[in-house]
Structure 1
Amino acid sequence: MISTQTFAFLKSVSENNNREWFQEHKSEYEEARENVLFFTEKVIKGLSAFDPTIPADLNPKDCVMRIYRDIRFSKDKAPFKTNFGIAISSNGKNFKGPGYYIHLQPDKSFVAGGSWYPEKDELKAIRQEIDYNLGDWTSIVEHPAFTDVFGELDTEGKLRTAPKGYPADHPGIEYLKLKSFTAVCRVSDKDLVNRDSVKIVTGLFEKIYPLMVFLRNAIA
């Protein structure tokens, strides 16, 4: 589970986002990171139980993202993130294609899975798979077990008109307009500090798994 001290540390970072403060509280950061790594290790093992592409012995250090921000091209010069990000695939956080993600931030935590802004060729392949197998697609993303938890897929960046090559009256046009294919669910701090937090998170990922399989098959 995630420690209450980990959330307390992240809250403090948001209030004191400067290098001097961070250096003075480096030990708190290291404790928080160790907590997140331990949590990630347990989630990986839970994921591997139903997703054979995730190795049970995947190193959590390959999944937990750096807390240091790249500020070279950003107007926001705050040096540290105010969250811990965890990206899980067969190759950890460095992956192309579908993946799982956990965002840990006080009162703003969530889990997600799918393909976030896939590259041009992958996007084309996913749209083609939806076109060819619309029934299979809707049986996943419109199933009550899915929509009751995740609602609709993320519509960030969605096209206003039909993508090239597809008619405006295509029965799956609203899905074909998507530029990301991700399911997102908020998770409360209370659930994350609960001793069943790993079970809660992996349970959500298991509901996303059919979407992951569809997307992987599309780009295979």
Structure 2
Amino acid sequence: MDFKNLISFLKALQQNNQKEWMDANRKWYHEVRNDFVLWLDKMNAQLASMDDEYYDTPGKKGINRINNNLMFHPNKPIYKDHFGAGLDKRPNTGDFYVEIGIERSMFAGGLWRPDPKTLRSIREAIDYDGEDLKKILNKKSFKERFGGLYEDEKLKMAPKGFSNDHTHIDLLRNKTFAVAMEFSSERVHKEDYEQFLIDCYFEMLPFRRYLNKAITV
């Protein structure tokens, strides 16, 4: 994967964030996108060979659109400043997200502001065995990579059906259950970047499996 070409394209795109420029450079875009899809295929195959429960996610299915959704975010530029994709992308569950941007890249996973039914399922799982989730979040190597849960809006009081003195009230008040690791995009140029991705995937896996079990069982 030629990450230098990918980032060069993104830099040029952000300096010319217009449909006319994209149309004139469509060949370059497809060259970069196809290269990224092939790289995703490679990582998909590697992870599938290492994780028996991995959900096969070819690059074309995992990659996100480069266009921003202007219907919901009309003030954003037309095109994103990164390429993003999901791996282990089982329908209706939280995937392992990979993002490569101009200055910042990241790995993330979990569920961002899930719908009320899904959120209720997660909270019921925490009510039942929240200690298991806390063990995952408090594991030293996990905290070193991801810190804690992604900081987002929280309820001021306990959610409906739970008491304010619940043992796991700190978790129950969350609206988002996700973790993320950001790093300089210089990291993607290093020879061990793919191993770095694999290590982060497996470090995050118990967290993602906990959530996905909660919303599917």
TM-score, with length taken from structure 2: 0.91
Q: How many residues are treated as equivalent by the alignment?
A: 216
1:187 alignment partner, SS class: strand
Alpha-carbon deviations, 1:61-107, whole Å to 9, x = none?
Answer: 0111111233245432632222111022344xxx3222111121111
Cα deviation for residue 196 of structure 1 reads: 2.3
Q: Does 1:66 align with 2:65?
A: yes
Q: Does 1:182 align with 2:178?
A: yes
2:138 paired residue among 139, 142, 160: 142
1:216 paired residue among 208, 212, 216: 212
Structure with the higher helix share, 1 or 2: 2
Q: 1:188 to 1:38 in 2, by over 3 A?
A: farther
CA–CA distance in structure 1, aligned partners of residues 76 and 107 of structure 2: 27
Cα deviation for residue 43 of structure 1 reads: 2.0
The percent of aligned pairs where both chains have the same amino acid is 27
Q: 1:19 to 1:90 in 2, by over 3 A?
A: closer
1:75 alignment partner, SS class: coil
Q: Is the 8 A contact 1:46 1:199 kept in 2?
A: no
Cα deviation for residue 171 of structure 1 reads: 2.1
Q: Is the 8 A contact 1:115 1:181 kept in 2?
A: yes
Q: 1:128 to 1:62 in 2, by over 3 A?
A: same
Q: 1:177 to 1:51 in 2, by over 3 A?
A: farther
Aligned to 1:37: 37
Alignment RMSD (CA, Å): 1.8
Cα deviation for residue 112 of structure 1 reads: 0.3
CA–CA distance in structure 2, aligned partners of residues 122 and 72 of structure 1: 24
Cα deviation for residue 50 of structure 1 reads: 4.0
Instruction: Please identify, of 39-48 and 72-81, the stretch whose mean Cα deviation from structure 2 is larger.
Output: 72-81
Aligned to 1:85: 84
CA–CA distance in structure 1, aligned partners of residues 142 and 123 of structure 2: 20
Matches for 1:161-180 after TM superposition, within 5 Å: 161-180=157-176
**Where do 5+ consecutive residues of structure 2 fail to align?**
none
Q: 1:71 to 1:90 in 2, by over 3 A?
A: closer
- Of structures 1 and 2, the one with the larger relative CO (CA 8 A, separation 6+) is 1
CA–CA distance in structure 2, aligned partners of residues 134 and 70 of structure 1: 35
CA–CA distance in structure 1, aligned partners of residues 195 and 2 of structure 2: 12
Alpha-carbon deviations, 1:111-132, whole Å to 9, x = none?
Answer: 1011222221111111111111
CA–CA distance in structure 1, aligned partners of residues 178 and 14 of structure 2: 27
Matches for 1:4-153 after TM superposition, within 5 Å: 4-56=4-56, 58-76=57-75, 78-91=77-90, 95-153=91-149
Q: Does 1:196 align with 2:176?
A: no
1:4 maps to amino acid: K
CA–CA distance in structure 2, aligned partners of residues 32 and 158 of structure 1: 39
TM-score, with length taken from structure 1: 0.90
2:8 alignment partner, SS class: helix
